[in-house]
Structure 1
């Protein structure tokens, strides 16, 4: 039970280094969902940015404008 609100709290295991394969006791912490999400937020933002950059890097140079406009690139004659 939460000491202030009295609501039921479910704990989850947080990986402090954000690597799920590292299950060392020093790397795990039991946190409520709110605290876990707050801790992971900067990591999630960095992952979103990295994924966007990777998608842009995978687009052929002539298709970049089409990607940004959401259209199909012109294939030429």
Structure 2
């Protein structure tokens, strides 16, 4: 398992946190699948280019991609 630190927000310096949402609503959607994105706790900025899900990749990979995308914004 890869351990990746969540960098601070590049705009306001606030803390980033992982947001995990189920991908189903009522009786439709992808039951058992989730989406991941990083969001700033202060200004609400989110991971660019949307969320990453575990429909076709593993949960670990989806989470890693969201963290990687967020952290690249600091560069």
TM superposition score category, shorter chain reference: under 0.3
- Greater C-alpha Rg: 1
Relative to its length, the structure with more helix (as a share) is 1
Which is bigger in relative contact order (C-alpha 8 A, separation at least 6)? 2
**What TM-score do the two structures reach when normalised by structure 2?**
0.28
**What TM-score do the two structures reach when normalised by structure 1?**
0.27
